[in-house]
Amino acid sequence: MAGHSKWKNIQVRKTAQDSKKSKYFTKVTKELMLAAKAAGSDPFTNARLRSAIAAAKAVNLPKDKIDVAIKKGSGEIAGESYDEVNYEGYGPNGVAIFVEAATDNRNRTVAEIRSIMSKNGGNMGEAGCVGWMFEKKGVLRFPKAPGVTEDKLMEIGLEAGVQDIFDDGDAFVVQTDPEDFSPAQAAFEAVGLAPESAELTLEPGNTVTVDAETARKLFKLIEALEDNDDVQKVHANFDVPEDVLAAMG
């Protein structure tokens, strides 16, 4: 389907992030705590926690630290308490920026986010200024491998309420509505198809096409935001054409 080159944009950023996975221990630990706090400590009934555990394992967070984070989140043992808070604004070229954060000090976090935005060609907006542009979706990624075909995923996915499946180059990406996310993941795993990653995320309803100079500025802004320990995820509604991405290297 059209409009999926944004997944290439995500991969460009991920390549840079992979070299500093250890930095993300803080983020995955917070997500484990938040997921357990929101819906309990059983990953079989808590899809968000199941995804958080997978993300923690992906960055090699030790199992004992995973267990402790879950127990802190569910209240089994005493620990830090984090609030989930969102920030909205605009990047270069008017691109919508939506930031998900987890903090124990809202005043500190909002000041830091505002500073990062202003130093990188962006600006904070009022609550709700860009949130309406994004829709929550379940996203599962399946690396291409023997037995993993688009037809096979579609066959299982249609029964499980999958909304869309597309090829992003090195993997197949499956999208679901939020309420179908957990059943779809379970349906794939039941036939031995475990996704490389599975998460609830925000997808833009439409995108702004940007040139190479603007793309570089946006990547720099998003990386600066993601480097902040309180920031969990950053979403944006820009698209870089394939030829521009290729020229950027």
The answer to whether residue 18 sits within a structural domain is: yes
Among candidate residues 165, 186, 168, the one with its CA nearest the CA of residue 176: 165
Q: Which amino acid is at 181?
A: F
**CATH code where residue 220 lies:** 3.30.70.980
Q: At 84, phi and psi to the nearest 5? A: -90, 130
Both structure tokens of 13: 């950023």
Would the pLDDT of 44 be above 60? Answer: yes
Same domain? 172 vs 224: no
Same domain? 180 vs 230: no
Same domain? 122 vs 225: yes
Same domain? 157 vs 214: no
Q: Which amino acid is at 131?
A: G
The answer to whether residue 1 sits within a structural domain is: no
Q: Which amino acid is at 71?
A: K
Other C-beta atoms closer than 10 Å to the C-beta of 132 total: 10
Residues in the chain: 249
Give dist(CA 178, CA 155) in Å, integer.
Answer: 20
How sure is the predictor about 81, in pLDDT bands with cuts at 50, 70 and 90? confident
**CATH code where residue 66 lies:** 1.10.10.200
Same domain? 119 vs 214: yes
pLDDT in the model for residue 2: 34
pLDDT in the model for residue 15: 46
Same domain? 123 vs 210: yes
The answer to whether residue 44 sits within a structural domain is: yes
Same domain? 32 vs 94: no
Residue ending a domain, among 188, 204, 220, is 204
Cα distances (Å, whole numbers) of residue 33 to 48, 68, 72, 215, 236: 11, 9, 6, 34, 25
Place of tokens 């990406």: 173
Tell me the Cα Rg of the chain.
18
Same domain? 194 vs 174: yes
Q: Supply the range of the domain harboring residue 216.
A: 83-132+206-248
Same domain? 99 vs 65: no
Among candidate residues 17, 32, 28, 116, the one with its CA nearest the CA of residue 72: 32
Residue ending a domain, among 204, 224, 240, is 204
CA–chain centroid gap for 132, Å, is 18
Among candidate residues 211, 213, 198, 201, the one with its CA nearest the CA of residue 239: 211
Give dist(CA 181, CA 47) in Å, integer.
Answer: 8
In the chain, how many domains are there? 3
The answer to whether residue 199 sits within a structural domain is: yes
Give the model confidence (pLDDT) of 97-154 as tens digits: 999 999 999 999 999 999 999 999 999 999 999 999 999 999 999 989 888 888 899 9
The answer to whether residue 183 sits within a structural domain is: yes
DSSP H/E element including 204: strand 197-204
Same domain? 124 vs 232: yes
Give dist(CA 171, CA 61) in Å, integer.
Answer: 24
pLDDT in the model for residue 249: 66
How sure is the predictor about 18, in pLDDT bands with cuts at 50, 70 and 90? low
CB 37 within 8 A of CB 74: yes
The answer to whether residue 59 sits within a structural domain is: yes
CB 55 within 8 A of CB 232: no
Q: What is the mean pLDDT of residues 55-60?
A: 85
pTM: 0.82
∠ CA(166), CA(24), CA(128), 5° rounding?
A: 65
Same domain? 128 vs 154: no
Same domain? 55 vs 147: no
The mean pLDDT value of the chain amounts to: 87
